[in-house]
Amino acid sequence: MIVKGVYGDFKKITGRIRVEEVYGPVDLDRKRIVEEAGLKYVPLIWVPRAGGAEEGIVDAWGSKMLFAFNNSGCISNPRIRESAKNTLEDAVVKCDVDSIILDALRFPSPFDGRGMLSCFCKYCRRRIVESGINPENLRSNLLRLLEKIHLYPHLSSDLIEAFIQWVNIRQLIVKELLEELKEKAEEYDITVRIAVFPPSIAWLVGQNYAYIKDLVGEAQVMLYHKCGGPACLNTELTSLVELLLKSTGEAREKEVLRAASMLTGLCLKSWKEFKERGVDWDILVEETRRAESLLDSKFTAVYWLDKLVEERLKTMRLNKVILFVAKNC
């Protein structure tokens, strides 16, 4: 198995593991340090970077918020789209690279709590109308759906339809921006790579592997078993169950787990201990195999390095992996 690249503190492992690439923000100093260590630097672009709170997403209750690390706005906002393209150009010109990685090209996830049920900003509303859907009906049906999700699959057809419309709009907006950024990258003859959510959650945040596979040179699937931020599988699954429990009543745990299993395609029997202990290893293996079969040659797994991962990866039979090396791992 080859460790293709590293996110985070690369010096922690390059002494004992052979690594080819290091990933990070558009930063000439960091690039120089990496190249001095004999490695290739590939810049990463945080696509939804917001200029201020006014660029936030709007949830189904009408609240505006920045998501992820409280730094991300709506990717339908023309200023954010323009800024992502400018950052891409900047990365190419400054860093003289042959590829870039797009990060967080998506909508809010369960990590963002109620922000997950978005987006109803004026730009997204316009896109919803263009798709022949009434944004107000969609918004109120989504709220009703959230209250009744424990009844799945015995839901009225308008609620199921609203859910499909919401997923479709998210995926459509992400796809269109990915196409635009790819076009921009092609002007400079560079390859677009993308960091995506694990399959169970990706489709809910707008990342459908079916179109991603066709548009990028590499899809780096974040398969983080134990960490506390967005995209960390243990945190995302826990947040999803907690969001559904809060909306439907705490006593409905069994039904909520069934609904969460339906939404993620995973068989979720537990969740409470995920935050502390991390997800069960068989869930991580299942997610890895799903991503691998959906993305074929475009697939690269990214794991959150700790002792458990380092030991278990030996049994995974993967050609190449990327490691996220946290400062305290």
Query: Site for Zn ion (CB under 5 A): which residue of 13, 34, 121, 174?
Result: 121
State in angstroms the smallest separation of the CB of 150 from Zn ion: 28
Binding of Zn ion by 205 (CB under 5 A): no
> Please, how many CA atoms are within 13 Å of residue 97, restricted to the half-sphere of its CB?
31
C-alpha pair distances (Å), 62 with each of 70, 82, 157: 18, 25, 24
Q: Is residue 201 a contact point for Zn ion (CB under 5 A)?
A: no
Cβ closer to Zn ion: 121 or 283? 121
Q: Among residue numbers 90 through 119, which ones bind Zn ion (CB under 5 A)?
A: 119
User: Binding-site residue total for Zn ion (CB under 5 A)?
Assistant: 5
Interactions with Zn ion, residue window 133-192 (CB under 5 A):
none
Pick the closer one to Zn ion by CB: 166 or 224: 166
What are the tokens at 236?
């995302």
3-state secondary structure the chain: CEEEEEEECCHHHHCCCCEEEEEECCCHHHHHHHHHCCCEEEEEEECCECCCHHHCEEECCCCEECECCCCECCCCCHHHHHHHHHHHHHHHHHHCCCEEEEECCCCCCHHHHHHHCECCCHHHHHHHHHCCCCHHHHHHHHHHHHHHHHHCCCCCHHHHHHHHHHHHHHHHHHHHHHHHHHHHHHHCCCEEEEEECCHHHHCCCCCCHHHHHHHCCEEEEEEECCCCCCCEHHHHHHHHHHHHHHHHCHHHHHHHHHHHHHHHCCCCCCCCCHHHHCCCHHHHHHHHHHHHHHHHHHEEEEEECCHHHHHHHHHCCCCEEEEEECCCC
Which residue number, 76 or 300, has a Cβ lying nearer to Zn ion?
76
Q: Compare residues 58 and 102 and give the one whose CB is closer to Zn ion.
A: 58
Binding to Zn ion by residue 124, rule CB under 5 A? Answer: yes
Task: Indicate the residue among 76 and 208 with the shorter CB distance to Zn ion.
Answer: 76
Q: How far is residue 230's CA from residue 281's CA, in Å, rounded to a whole number?
A: 19
Query: Is 125 or 182 the residue whose CB approaches Zn ion more closely?
Result: 125
By CB under 5 A, tell whether 83 contacts Zn ion: no
Q: How far is the CB of 133 from Zn ion (least distance, A)?
A: 14
* Closer CB to Zn ion, 177 or 268, in the complex: 177
| Span from 16-24, 66-74, 153-161, 188-196 in contact with Zn ion (CB under 5 A) | 66-74
> Considering only 11-19, 122-130, 201-209, 219-227, which stretch makes contact with Zn ion by CB under 5 A?
122-130
Q: Which is nearer to Zn ion, 81 or 225 (CB)?
A: 81
Smallest separation (angstroms) from Zn ion to the CB of 124: 3
Q: Are 238 and 274 in contact (CB under 8 A)?
A: yes
- Output the smallest distance, CB 105 to Zn ion, in A: 14
Q: How far is the CB of 154 from Zn ion (least distance, A)?
A: 31
Position among 76, 83, 109, 208 found at the interface with Zn ion (CB under 5 A):
76
Binding segment toward Zn ion, per CB under 5 A, in 72-80, 217-225, 250-258, 274-282: 72-80
The window from 13-21, 32-40, 68-76, 225-233 that contacts Zn ion (CB under 5 A) reads 68-76
Please give the residue ranges that form the binding site for Zn ion (CB under 5 A): 74, 76, 119, 121, 124
